Homo-oligomer: A and B are copies of this chain.
Amino acid sequence: MPAPTSPLTVGELAEEEILARILARLGPSPVDVGPGDDAAVLRLADPRVVVTTDTLVHGPDFRLAWSRGRDLGAKAAAVNLADVAAMGARPVALFVALMMPDDTTIEFVEELATGLREACEELAPGCAVAGGDLTVSDTLAIAVTAIGDLPAGRRPVLRSGARSGQVVAIAGETGAAAAGLALLFERFRDPAGAAVPVDGALLDEREASLVSAQLRPCPPIAAGVRAADAGATAMMDVSDGLIRDARRMAAASGVSIDLRTAALGPDPALALSGGEDHALLAVFPAEAPIPAEFRVIGTVGDRAAGLLLVDGVAESSDGGWDPYRDWDGQAG
């Protein structure tokens, strides 16, 4: 019987070998010119390109004890796809800068690549990783840039287009990811406060789905283009909590927004405060047909620019809870 061997790490392979293993898991690249040249060349629907970048860093944004490589890859893709979708655009490609300590296992890197591919296939068919960069770093981090395009002649949907009398709607959940994070902090830390691996046996079905919403969010990417098709006047992805983000939209549009708790499910307080689900918040003209993915949760008014009301009462709090912010990054 062979002796157990320690897992192969990034530090033991040449960059070309690591890259080959990643490319084998990414599937076909949606490009005219792909990996191997100085830059990629992509063909878009028209000469406008939509670009966004978002980074996940070990410590402030995730814990390896909690996040498997596949979930992390999928999340890194999803949060960027959501920003493209929130413009009413179609995601076309992702570019991934991967910074890894030498002791990162190759299995983790391969799983990360698999997660990137899975999220694209599930959430934005036709989009895929089209390039990237590998670097050694003491801190594991994934910086993703997403590229999207707009249907010819269609304007991007901004945060600033909401007008009084229009309706506010949302696609996707809010609150589940925050509830999942709270569960991780409550149940999966050792006495010193460091993250410990998630034991699924300690979670009931609902709890498991909340944790999954945190570790591997599934934002409604296709709803972005459909909202634009239906005439959405404003849109953004909810990443910092519904209260905070709806207030930002109200401020950008110079309007007030009034949300109705009766439309926010069984736990309106959580739905109002939780971010990281990357739901799409959109505003439609009163007479517009609202796409099936969206449900109406409020109205746009003209009380005061940037005023956020809940059931007609001005809301002063941010409603947010961010445990990572005050958590010492060294442990876990």
Which A residues are closer than 8 A to B by beta carbons?
32-33, 36-61, 82-84, 86-87, 89, 93, 95-97, 99, 130-133, 135-139, 141, 143, 145-150, 156, 158-160, 235-237, 252, 329
**CB<8 Å pairs between A and B, sample of 16:** A33-B156, A37-B159, A38-B82, A38-B87, A39-B51, A40-B50, A41-B48, A42-B51, A43-B48, A44-B47, A45-B47, A47-B47, A53-B96, A53-B145, A99-B141, A141-B141
Residues of chain B with a CB closer than 8 A to A148's CB: 39
- By the criterion CB–CB under 8 Å, are A51 and B93 in contact? yes
Contact A38:B236 (CB < 8 A) given known A47-B46, A141-B99: yes
Which of B33, B55, B135, B329 makes the CB contact (< 8 A) with A61? B135
- By the criterion CB–CB under 8 Å, are A32 and B59 in contact? no
A-B pairs with the 5 shortest C-beta distances?
A39-B52, A139-B139, A143-B143, A97-B143, A38-B86
- By the criterion CB–CB under 8 Å, are B137 and A59 in contact? yes
Which residue from chain B places its CB closest to the CB of A152 in the assembled complex? B47
Copies of this protein in the assembly total: 2
Contact A42:B48 (CB < 8 A) given known A53-B133, A131-B53, A137-B59: yes
- By the criterion CB–CB under 8 Å, are A52 and B40 in contact? yes
Q: A78 CB to closest chain B CB, in angstroms?
A: 14
Could you tell me the dominant secondary structure of chain A's interface residues?
A: strand
Q: How far is the CA of A32 from the CA of B56 in the complex (A)?
A: 27
Q: A125 CB to closest chain B CB, in angstroms?
A: 20
Residues of chain B with a CB closer than 8 A to A42's CB: 48-49, 51
Q: How far is the CA of A51 from the CA of B143 in the complex (A)?
A: 14
Contact A52:B36 (CB < 8 A) given known A60-B135, A137-B141: no
- By the criterion CB–CB under 8 Å, are B38 and A49 in contact? no
